[in-house]
Structure 1
């Protein structure tokens, strides 16, 4: 349980990290200053101890430039301004002062005095400076690495609830949701902060989706039984009627009822295919294309009654594809039915071409049909044919590709796999 919001925890973590690094750097600089002071004093004391009993005079004062040490005399005669000067090669540090000496001054000119500090033996050698630079670089790098590690640890603890929630969501199989998936996200453990609100929302959403999955399964199982039972009863009754003596008019009526029953059965199968979330591996079944195409032609041939239209079937290959056979049968039945239904007398033939990776159904439409109402691509299915929108959805579910092409008065439906 977290007492503060995510925003406040991140701010606190950042403040703690910055404060810790600031204290560490402050202590490091303070230690460096004290070490430098101690080092200078130790070197000066060491030099005095080595010169005992005559103590060295490291700091001396000079009233005029000509009295300076020989290595500084020429520089002093250039009348330098007030300030501090360092001469690394000669190992001197010089302070230039302005003094008023009435005895020495002429024409109110201001005289300079020099304070010379001889640092020979006190300052470290260049090689030692390099070692100290290497040591300081190592300390700085170590502090930087420790600061980075501390920042990672602190920030990781601050955003730990977000990581935990993301892991919980990642463990859920969104393609196969179960009834209890919403229980995997325990929003109560995140408190009342932003992460807790997000976890609660995800939990409620998954709960609604799980309930929807249950309703979908109940509906499809009930609809599958309740809708197919009347169809089976009607089919049995038709078979009994066919065995009795019927007049020519009655035979036509029975044929019409049989066709309507077959259409109803196909429609039920089609909607059940779309309604099911899962079909227990039926989408991975291997089947032949040719038998389903031949059956669709036989079932829809009654639409060509009274029309002198030929159906030309070109079987260029014997493809075997992977998918849902009932869904493929529904798709083929719709395409064949569209071609048979929209082809008028004298507009044949209807061509059905089976290739290795596609099925083509082509037919002519009436020249007086308003071509502006004919679809020119797969996105304009409404108003043309029977169930082409449903065909598109079935193809998407099975990984197939469907397109409709219009060239003048010739319409070609293409189904690829």
Structure 2
């Protein structure tokens, strides 16, 4: 396992990379110096060999200006200071040194004709240097990548492990896949241990949630079913008018409770139940919602206008869609007062509109607002918003003091 922390491993990797590159550049400069030295000596020897048997006098000393080569006399008469000078056009290098007479200077002339490299060779050497620098740079870049990759390998391994975990379908054993014991006691190991514990808690929560929804689905629906059955038996009994009204209220409350239970169970389930890819028609669900909630219009002089401009099909969760439509219809029926109609339901290819009036004054105008919360319109719209988010639908509530309009898009 890793004996050093991530910080130390990165520092060591960086130091190793710098050390290797420094050695490479040092050997390169040493080789360049030796190669240049050998090249100069070789050029001198070749020049001497070409002049054989008379050996050339490349370096000469001149005590007087008049004895200098003609090309240098005019320059020497300007009494130049002590130092080294180069004359490229004449291929001469001149050193001005103190002479025997303190008022005069001596001159040492080095004739590099035939020794100094030609301009074409200079370009070749420049090309060699560029290639060498590029090679060393590429070597350093590749070495840096390899070294740093080795240094941060645990981080990449942990990221890959976490990436392979499907958070949408988290199982009870997924936290074991992190395996924090594989990452040592450094910073990566601490991070892996934290992720492992977090996933363990989430897995335990998912297990409890599934157990609760499975149990609640049975334990809550069973008494509702028993109540509905008892109400159906009571309907066949001889009841007074007062008893019939009480029975209707119990039936409506039971249906409301059943709808509420289905809504909360639908939201509580993290995993789908095989119905998210089902194709279903919108119109039957709208008609069923109107039938179920029509009792809310009893005693109200309110018409319900349905404009079916299309007969769309939706791919998704039919129960969730039915819950959404029931809530929209229920809110429209419940918040429409006597004579404040009509309630308009428009079905389009990709949208469903439900509009109801909340003011009896048709000339009254107010600034409309768009809200997505359930404040002021019942708890159901908050659940509608969450169901739409879960199923990829779009829900919008447009309200002012004259009317309320809801739009469901899919």
TM-score normalised by L of structure 2: 0.94
Shift of 1:233: 0.8
Shift of 1:176: 1.3
Cα displacement string for residues 63-104 of structure 1 (whole angstroms, at most 9, x for unaligned residues): 1111011222222222222110112222211001233527xx
Who is 2:170 aligned against? 177
SS at match of 1:93: strand
Q: Is the 8 A contact 2:373 2:381 kept in 1?
A: no
Q: Is the 8 A contact 1:59 1:115 kept in 2?
A: yes
Cα displacement string for residues 275-316 of structure 1 (whole angstroms, at most 9, x for unaligned residues): 011223312211111111111111111112222222222222
Who is 2:406 aligned against? 413
Matches within 5 A, 1:191-270: 191-270=184-263
Aligned mates of 2:329, 2:389 — CA distance in 1: 19
Instruction: Tell me which of 130, 134, 148 is aligned to 1:155.
Output: 148
Q: Is the 8 A contact 2:372 2:385 kept in 1?
A: no
Q: Is the 8 A contact 2:277 2:317 kept in 1?
A: yes
Who is 2:345 aligned against? 352
Matches within 5 A, 1:73-88: 73-88=73-88
Aligned mates of 1:51, 1:290 — CA distance in 2: 110
Matches within 5 A, 1:371-410: 376-410=369-403
- Listed as ranges, the gaps of 5+ residues in structure 1 are 103-109
Aligned mates of 1:386, 1:128 — CA distance in 2: 88
Cα displacement string for residues 378-414 of structure 1 (whole angstroms, at most 9, x for unaligned residues): 2342232341111111111111111111244211122
Task: Tell me which moved more, 211-220 or 302-311.
Answer: 302-311
Structure 1 residue 11 corresponds to structure 2 residue 4: no
Instruction: Tell me which of 323, 326, 347 is aligned to 1:330.
Output: 323
Q: Is the 8 A contact 1:86 1:93 kept in 2?
A: yes
Aligned mates of 1:154, 1:399 — CA distance in 2: 45
SS at match of 2:169: coil
Who is 1:95 aligned against? 95
Cα displacement string for residues 123-166 of structure 1 (whole angstroms, at most 9, x for unaligned residues): 22333333222222222222121111111111111111111111
Who is 2:29 aligned against? 29
Aligned mates of 1:95, 1:258 — CA distance in 2: 119
Who is 1:67 aligned against? 67
Shift of 1:367: 5.7
Structure 1 residue 166 corresponds to structure 2 residue 167: no
Who is 1:107 aligned against? none
Q: Is the 8 A contact 1:182 1:210 kept in 2?
A: yes
Q: Is the 8 A contact 1:285 1:325 kept in 2?
A: yes
Task: Tell me which moved more, 270-279 or 246-255.
Answer: 246-255
Structure 1 residue 138 corresponds to structure 2 residue 93: no
Instruction: Tell me which of 275, 279, 285 is aligned to 2:272.
Output: 279
Shift of 1:112: 1.3
SS at match of 1:192: coil
SS at match of 2:115: coil
- How many aligned residue pairs are there? 406
Shift of 1:45: 3.3
In structure 2, relative to structure 1, the CA distance for the partners of 1:256 and 1:394 (3 Å cut) is same
Aligned mates of 2:301, 2:32 — CA distance in 1: 106
- Listed as ranges, the gaps of 5+ residues in structure 2 are none
In structure 2, relative to structure 1, the CA distance for the partners of 1:57 and 1:174 (3 Å cut) is same
Structure 1 residue 112 corresponds to structure 2 residue 122: no
Q: Is the 8 A contact 2:339 2:360 kept in 1?
A: no
Q: Is the 8 A contact 2:368 2:400 kept in 1?
A: no
